[in-house]
Every structure is written in structure tokens, then in C-alpha cells.
Structure 1
Amino acid sequence: MSNTSNFRAAIREARNQSLIGPNVIAKALPFVGGGLVLTAAGAFGGLQVIRNNPDLFMPTFFGALVLELILFFVARNVAEKANNGMALPLLATYSLLSGYTLSGLLFVALGTAGVGIQGVGIAALGCGAAFIFGRQVGSNLSDQDGLALAKTVQMGIIALLVAMVGQILFTVFGGYNPTWLEIAISGVGVFLFTGAAVVDFYVLPRAYRDEQYLSAALSMYLTYINLFIFILRLLIAINGRD
């Protein structure tokens, strides 16, 4: 799962804030779209490596994952200073690496009966539906409702991360990962990141100035890439993958 600390930091900054970036989301959206296109390109490259040179994939996967995490923190700090000329290539590289590390899950989805390319399409459409829903609801939230929802989603994501770490450790040490647990975790993830899509439209204009549009773009990117991941995980689990 991609790092979500940018989302949590935005919630903290938005608390008790008035609207400081009324146009920040409009400015961010083209870069969110561009980041997702680059992610798709990185995922395509990763799939080609898996299919043509599978022994090379895992070493490059771990290298890409480490570099991705480093780039996230560096790019976030640069973007928050509104140094957009420097932040943009960092975020573009981050998006490519994110796609590469996502390619393993895509490979599993494409090879799972009942999921396949149609499941990938369903996940993408789910993200689009979450965007439309989030814009409609989040833009009209009152301060009381917006902050309450933001806090609830924030706490839920932290609990989800703890549950996922526990799941990974249990599996690593030889425990059986029951399908119902994977379905439960994935379903909660879909629910929470759909909520995050709503929260973005309330929080971001209160957390970032208009010139900090790349910070807002990164926060929204993380929301939709995580939602995409959890929808795919849910579809794989429902279709009986152990």
C-alpha cells in the first residue's frame, strides 16, 4: 500500500482553518491525471519484466520500493514549499516507480479467474465513481461534518495499517491467511479510501494554498491509487485466491 502520511498531515493542517486555497484542487487535477498515466506506464513496464524476465523482477521490485519511499518524503517536502519546478520531476518519477511496484498485484489480478482485465477495469471505474461522489459530497460538507469525517477516516486508516502489518507478520511466520480476513481488510480499505476521496475535497482547500497544488495532487493521487489497490485485492479475494 502506498504511503498515506501526506493525507494525515493534510488533515492536521486543515483543522480550524478557513479556506486558503479555493483553486488548489482545480490546479491539482491535471497532475493527478498525469501521475496516474505515468503509474500505468510503470505498471506496464513491470508486467513486461515479470513475463519476460521473472527472475529480475523481485530484486528490481525491492529496489524500486525503497527508492519510491525515499522519493515520496523528498517530493512531499519540496512540494509543500511550493517549489513546483523541482517537485514535478520527483513526483513523476515517484509515479513511475509506484506503477512498477503495483505490477505484481496487477499480474495476480490478470491471472485470477473471475478478475482479469475486466477486474482491472472495474477497479478503475470504482476510482472514477469515488471521485464524482467525493467532489459532490466533500465540497458541500460543513466544518463540523468535514472535520468529524476527516478524523474518522484518519483513525480508520491508521487501524487499517496496523491490521495489514499484523497480517503480513502472521503470514511471514508461517500462519495461514484466511480468505475471509483478506476480504474483510480489503473491504474496509475500499470503504476508508472512498471516505478519503470525500475528505480530500473538504481538507485540501483548507490545508494548501493555490500555489501548493502539487502537494494537493500528491494527496489525491495517494487516495485513488490506494482505492484502486484495495478494490483489486477485494476482487482477488472474493474470487477465491488463498
Structure 2
Amino acid sequence: MSNTSNFRDAIRQAKTQALTGPNVIANALPYVGGGLILTAVGSYGGLGVIRTNPSLFMPTFIAAIVLELVLFFVAQNVAEKGNKALALPLLATYSLLSGYTLSGLIFVALKTQGVGINGIAFAALGCGITFIAARQIGSNLSEQDGLALAKTVQLGLIAFLVVILCQFVFHLFGGQTPTFLEIAISGIGVFLFAGAAVVDFFILPRSYRDDQYLPAALSMYLTYINLFIFILRLLIALNGRD
């Protein structure tokens, strides 16, 4: 999901609305696919920088993270207002930057014995299979079950965000997450974002009209990317680090 504030708003709307956009998922999926292709392009570019000029990667990575955060809120606001002509290039740029910031993790995966390109493909395939199953499950949830799942996932994501922030601060001071803890964090992340995928397919048709496919696409894209990250992190943790 995009963020906890939007998640709460979506749940609130879903409580009072029937399906407002029965076709919004189908309309959004091509844009999710396009965003993922651009993410792959961004990752390829990031890998090129790491291999040819590694000293340049970290400052550009930090700049990309900052710009990505700004672009997220701007693109989301523009998409919510229905300005598709402006939202599309913003979302495309956001997807490219997401790929660039993912390239560090992908580089580690490529260097990790037992993961490599096959592990990356497995993570991508796992996300795709999860989304197929999540669409079937989320589309058929009752109102009561869907809202209960949404609240559970929301609370889990809030707690999980605190853990990830603590882990990030720990890494800034040169700490190394123990392997067992990395496996636990990654496994919980996979579980939570798989649940978030189900919630997306329940919430989005109740929150957006059919013509509001861009903000719906952004929400699904973020869920997919986060699920991919934690599947890949789990594979790296299970196979050890070089």
C-alpha cells in the first residue's frame, strides 16, 4: 500500500461504499506492468553505475531516494486529481528511480551464491503468482472479512515500519543485522505484503472509480515492489552474504 494514512482513508471509504470501480483493477494493471518494466530499466542503469563507477553510486543513490520520496507524494496528488497528462510522466520517473534504488539489493543478490539471476527471477515470479492468487481471494472477500483483514494488515505494516526504521538506523552506525533476525524480518515482510496485495484487490474497487486507475496502479505497484524486495531479502538471508 502507498502509506498508512492513505490505507486508513481507503478503509474508511470501503466501509461506506459498494463497488465504485468494478473495472479499475483491469484498467490499472497495464500501467502497473509498464511501471515494472521501467523499474527494470532503472535497475539495469544502477547496476551499470555500480560496476563502472562504484564511488558514484552511493551519492546518486541518496539523491534518488530523496527525489523518489518527493515524487511519490507529488505524483500521488496529481493522480488523485485526475490529471493524467502530468501524472503519467511523474509516475514513469518514479518507477525509474525505484529501479535505481533497487539496484543495490539486486547487486547483492547477484553476488550471493545460491541466489543470482535465478533468485531474482524467482522473486519476480513469486510476486506475480501472489498477485494472481490475491486478486482471486480479495475480489471474493465479504465486507466483514475484507475490512477485518485490512485493519490487521494496516496494524502489522505500522509496526513493521518501526522495525525497518530501527534496522536502518542500526545499519547507519555500522551494525550488521544477525542472519536469524534478517530472516525473520524478511519473512514477516513477505507475509505482510502478500496480505497487502489481497487488501488492494478488496479496497481499490471500493475506493476508486474506473477512470481513477492511475492512483490504483500506484498502490498495486508499491505493494508489488515491496513484496519483491522482501522475497529477495529473504533469499539472500537464507543463502548467506558474501
- TM-score, L = length of structure 2: 0.95
> What secondary structure does 1:82 align onto?
coil
In structure 2, what residue type is equivalent to 1:147? Answer: L
Deviation at 1:82, TM superposition (A): 1.3
Does the CA-based 8 Å contact 1:4-1:222 persist in structure 2?
no
CA distance in 1, matches of 2:47, 2:107: 7
Q: Residue 181 of structure 2 corresponds to which residue in structure 1?
A: 181
Root-mean-square deviation (CA, aligned residues, Å) is 1.5
What residue in structure 2 maps to residue 210 of structure 1?
A: 210
Q: 1:172-220: CA deviations, max 9, x gaps?
A: 3354421111111100000011111111111000111111100000000
Seen in structure 2, the aligned counterparts of structure 1 residues 226 and 8 have a Cα distance that, compared at 3 Å, is farther
Aligned AA (1:223): T
What secondary structure does 2:113 align onto?
Answer: coil
Give the deviation of 1:56 after TM superposition: 0.9
- Structure 1 runs (4+) deviating above 4 angstroms are 5-9
Distance 2:100 2:11 in 1: 29
Residue aligning to 1:53: 53
- In structure 2, C-alpha distance between the alignment counterparts of 1:173 and 1:66, rounded to whole Å: 20
Give the match for residue 33 of structure 1: 33
Paired letter, 2:110: L
Equivalence for 2:3: 4
Query: AA paired with 2:212?
Result: Q
Distance 2:209 2:62 in 1: 35
Q: Which 10-residue stretch deviates more, 25-34 or 11-20?
A: 11-20
Q: Is the 8 A contact 2:2 2:219 kept in 1?
A: no
Opposite residue 73 of structure 1, the aligned amino acid is F
| Aligned counterpart, 1:146 | 146
1:24 maps to 24
User: How far is 1:14 from its partner?
Assistant: 2.3
Identity of aligned residues (%): 74
Contact 2:42 2:100 in 1 (8 A): yes
2:211 alignment partner, SS class: helix
Indicate if the aligned counterparts of 2:138 and 2:200 stay in contact, CA closer than 8 A: yes
For 2:176 and 2:201, how far apart are their aligned partners in 1?
A: 39
| Distance in 2 between residues matched to 1:109 and 1:130, nearest whole Å | 21
- The aligned residue for residue 134 of structure 1 is 134
What do the CA deviations read for 1:57-99 (whole angstroms, capped 9, x no partner)?
A: 1111111111110000000011111111111110000000000
